[in-house]
Amino acid sequence: MSKPEISHPDIIYILCTSEAYQQASRQGQFTTESLISEGFIHASPAHQLNRVANAYFPEQAELLLLSIAVDALQPELRWEASTNGELYPHLYGPLNLEAVIQTDAFTRQSHGAFEITVP
């Protein structure tokens, strides 16, 4: 099996609720339950956002898209294969908020799915 190839972008993305981002703003860093349970925070490149949003946030009507500058990250970033063979960026530590360069809100469309476009 050949290893999947990806060009590592300068910007990666994290999807979250506005409540989670507000809590991060109060704490000064963004963390998730996966950081405790799996050891990393899940992130995505742009082309995976719609799949991730619709698969992992089925109950949410609105999500925030955090655009993250890779060169401003403090935690270690690793690109690792998922069970489907695609590479995903994983942050091995809390996200420093200085790396978040933009936030955009997206609502679920009338047909029931998120359609997230990178600004």
pLDDT of 7 reads: 54
pLDDT of 3 reads: 40
Chain centre distance of CA 108: 17
Residues 6 or more apart in contact with residue 44 via CB below 8 angstroms: 12, 13, 14, 15, 52, 88, 89
pLDDT of 65 reads: 96
Q: Which fold has domain 17-107?
A: ADP-ribosylation fold (3.20.170)
Q: Which residues of the chain have pLDDT under 50?
A: 1-6
Coil/strand/helix, residue 19: helix
Coil/strand/helix, residue 113: coil
Q: Report how far residue 51's alpha carbon sits from residue 45's, in angstroms, rounded to the nearest whole number.
A: 11
**Strands across the sheet with 11-16, in order?**
11-16, 62-69, 100-107
Count of Cβ atoms closer than 10 Å to residue 65 Cβ = 22
pLDDT of 37 reads: 95
Global pTM value = 0.89
pLDDT of 8 reads: 61
Q: Do residues 51 and 13 lie in contact, with contact meaning Cβ atoms separated by under 8 Å?
A: no
